[in-house]
Each structure stands twice: as C-alpha cells, then as structure tokens.
Amino acid sequence: MEKTHEYVAFSEKIGYALADTGGSLFTSMIGTFMQMFYVDVLKIPFQRVGTLLLVIRLFSGVNDPILGAFFDRRPPGKYGKYRPCLRNFSLPFAVMAVLLFAQIPGLSPTQYLIYAYITQIIYDVVFTAINIPMGAMASVISIDGEERSMLSTFRSLGAGLGGLPSQVILPLLVFSTVMYNDNAVQVFNYRSFFIAVLIFSVISIVVHNAAFKLTRERVQAPSKPQAHDIRHTVRVLAKNRSFLAICVASLLTMGSMLFSMAVNNFLFVHYFTSPGLLALLNIAINAPAVLLLPVLPKLVRRMGKKQLCACGLALSALANFALLLLHTSNPFVFVGLSFISGIGQTFLNMQLWALLTDVLDKQELLSEKREEGTCYALFFATRKIGHTAAGAGSSYLLGAIGYVEGATVQPAHVPGRLYLVATLVPAIAFLLNFLTMQFWYPFSKRDEEEIRAELAAQRAQQEASVCAD
C-alpha cells in the first residue's frame, strides 16, 4: 500500500514546474504569434488558417486518446511509467517546434498551407507524447491533497515562466518601425522572431531533461496488470460530473487565454498603436500568480479549491465587462483592468491540475482501474478544443471584421471592431466559467478528503486480493 502523506521535496516541485516550462515556451509562442506568422509572413488567408486549426484539432481528437491508452498499457520501467517521456521526446519536440515556424523560400501561399498542415500534425503528435505523461505524473508523484495542490501551483508557475518570453520579451524585439505614407508604423520582423524560435528550442530540451532528473514516481502501479478498454473508460467518464465540469472549465480557460493572446497582438498594433506595451499588458495579467503565491495555500485551506476558483472567475468576468463598457482609448486603463482580471484568473490557473487529480481519483473509484493516461488524454483533448476555438475563432472573427492580411495600415473601421472582439469574447468566457465552477463542479473540501480515503481503502483491497491469488 502506498504512502498517503509522503513529502515532496522542493527540488522535485521545481522539476515538475520545469516539465511545463518546456512545452509552454512554444504553446505561448503559438498562441501569441502563430496567426501573425501565417497571415503576415506566409500570406495564408485568415479563413484557411481557421480551417487548418479545426482540422488539426479533429486529428487530435483521435490521436490523443490513442496515445493516452498506449501510455496506460505500458508497464513501468526503471525510471517509472511516465517520466521517461520527458527525456525521450524532448529532442523531437524541439525540432518540430522549429520546423513549425520555418519559412522555406520560394513557396506559394498554397504550398505554405500544405507545409503548415504537415508540420502541425507532426508537432501535435510529439507535443501530446510529452504532455499526456507529464499531466499523468501528478497522480503518481503524490496522493496527498496539499502536496498535489502545491504541485499544481508549481506547474502553473512553470507554465507562466515558459509563457513569459513570448508575452513579455518578444513583443519588444520582433516588431520593427517602417515609414508608410510619411507615418511610422510597426511591422512584424520575422528574422528576429526565428532567432528566438531557435533559442527556445534549445532551452526546451534542457528543461525537459532537467524535469526528468528532478522528479520521481511514488505511487506504484498495481501489481497485477489491468485491462484497458477506451470505450468503457469513455462511458464511465461521461457519467462523471466532475470530469465533465473540469473539462468545460479548462476549455474555457484555455480558449479565453489564447484568444486574448492572439487578438491583443493585433489590438495593440492597430488600435492602441503601441505594440511595445504588449509586454506591460502580459506582465499585468501574469504578475498576480507571483504576488498571490505566498497566500495561495492559506486561501485554498480556508475556502477550498472550488469556491476560490469560482470567486476569482467572477472577478475576471466583471473586469472584462468593465473594459467592454468603457471602450477606453487609453492603453494604461486597459492594462489596469487586465491586472484585476489576472487576479481572478490566477486561482483556477494555479489550481487546475490539483482539481484534475481529484477528478481522476473519483474516476478510479468509479471504474476501479488506474487510467491516468487515457483520462488525461481525453481531458487534454478538451483543452485543445479550447485552443482550436481560440485560434480558429479569432481567425474567422478577424476576417469578419475586415482585417486585411499583410496590410501595413488597416481600414478605418477595423481598430474599433478589434476592441469589441478583444473584450466581449473573454467577458462571456469568464462568465460561463464562473457558472461552471460554481454550479456544475461538485467537489467541496470535504468531498475531496472523503474521495482520497475511499480510494486508499479500495487500492489496499485490490492489492490484498492480488496477494491472496
């Protein structure tokens, strides 16, 4: 029987954080610059970019559960069941990330579109091969509730650290000033951007291997191999209210975050005409994660994860509706209200993975099987739906408001419509997310404790029956 209150060293929490840093370097870059790269550099029309992202996510919907089931069936090795993937796929992941943003000279927009399909599909497979095991690791590093909460916090910090360069540093480096009709305008500098891609790829290899070395798996797999049936797992998950709720919450979180990252890029170039202030905006949104870190464990113990996250989402919704109604032309007012929104977002962002491990414990109780890989793959697929909704939705909306691909200066009606899109969509997403966590997600603090106690008893009984056989 595994220990239920085993201490997880600080160095191991750092290692788990680094596991997400490596992937987030490119998740953030894709969310922030992928559309600009496809539209302004490769000259692929917005509508085709939106369709590309939809097709890739349909592929992910098939690919992710297959890979999840594969990882569940794999027996643990010398270094555990999931950890080795961080090391083994670190180089393929870095290579595909570089190819994703490579501009091959002499291709037509149609040929670039075909190239984008090929690189997106391969990148998606390799990214999934790292991300599913990394997510499943949270369930096997510790079963203790407080340790899982801290692991979730550190993972979120690691993701934030990985996202910081694309959101804060690159906006200061990848835009150049050119003259257009005697006016100075900002344009995307691909050469500087691709140098950053190469640097990020090296860093991702280093941090993924560091994560492998610093972490370990404590919760042992059952002594007797368990049969896995994806169809049975899906049927049980479909009845698991907590899983459905956390999937919707994650979808809305990922979708609103990546939508804002993509659209704010265009907003600060064409509405505020201050792309350099993107760095300040992203600092304002992400700073609360660091500022609230010292008090977060106390808040979780006092309020519970569910209520804390719901209150934060309500605050974010109010801040974004305020931005919508104000329709400010002052970028600093926009940044200030975005900081308030960032405070609200922080709680769910920091506790999402701890909530997920509670949900997977409930799933194990229902199915009487350890299926972390498959369950996480299906959960990850919903996050990709959010990613798709953000990417495809923002592409279609930008096309719908009249944005002209590759134009140095946009038509006069576009900036105002950009502001409307950039504030209305996140406001609605945060409101829906608040309703999801407040009224659909079921687990209170007491529920979580009862689930862990029942699960420990169930696992002990299963091991005892194996020994008796």
pLDDT of residue 142: 81
Structure tokens at 243: 């899983």
Share of the chain above pLDDT 70, in %: 93
Which residues make Cβ contacts (< 8 Å) with residue 197, sequence separation at least 6?
Answer: 29, 97, 98, 101
Share of the chain above pLDDT 90, in %: 43
**pTM score, whole prediction:** 0.73
pLDDT of residue 228: 61
Q: How far apart, in whole angstroms, are the C-alpha atoms of residue 331 and residue 328?
A: 8
Q: How far apart, in whole angstroms, are the C-alpha atoms of residue 155 and residue 153?
A: 5
Given a contact cutoff of 8 angstroms between Cβ atoms, the answer to whether 433 and 311 are in contact is no
- Tens of pLDDT, residues 176-226: 766 666 666 677 889 999 999 999 999 999 999 999 999 988 876 554 555
Give me the mean pLDDT over the 25-34 stretch.
88
Q: What is the CATH number of the domain that holds 158?
A: 1.20.1250.20
Could you tell me if residue 259 is inside a domain? yes
- Tens of pLDDT, residues 406-455: 677 889 999 999 999 999 999 999 999 999 999 999 998 888 888 888 88
pLDDT of residue 3: 45
Q: How many domains in the chain?
A: 1
Closest to 316 measured CA to CA, from 429, 412, 232: 429
pLDDT of residue 224: 52
Structure tokens at 81: 């069941």
pLDDT for residue 347 is more than 60: yes
Could you tell me if residue 3 is inside a domain? no
Could you tell me if residue 5 is inside a domain? no
Domain around 207: 10-218+228-464
pLDDT of residue 413: 92
pLDDT of residue 25: 93
Give me the mean pLDDT over the 135-149 stretch.
80
Could you tell me if residue 153 is inside a domain? yes
Which run of H or of E encompasses 238?
helix 230-238
- Tens of pLDDT, residues 226-270: 556 677 777 888 888 999 999 999 999 988 988 998 899 889 988
Angle ∠(234,381,20) on CA atoms, nearest 5? 125
Could you tell me if residue 469 is inside a domain? no
Could you tell me if residue 47 is inside a domain? yes
pLDDT of residue 222: 56
Could you tell me if residue 112 is inside a domain? yes
Q: How far apart, in whole angstroms, are the C-alpha atoms of residue 293 and residue 277?
A: 25
What DSSP line would sit under 10-38, residue for residue? HHHHHHHHHHHHHHHHHHHHHHHHHHHII
Could you tell me if residue 2 is inside a domain? no
Give me the mean pLDDT over the 325-333 stretch.
96
* Length of the chain (residues): 469
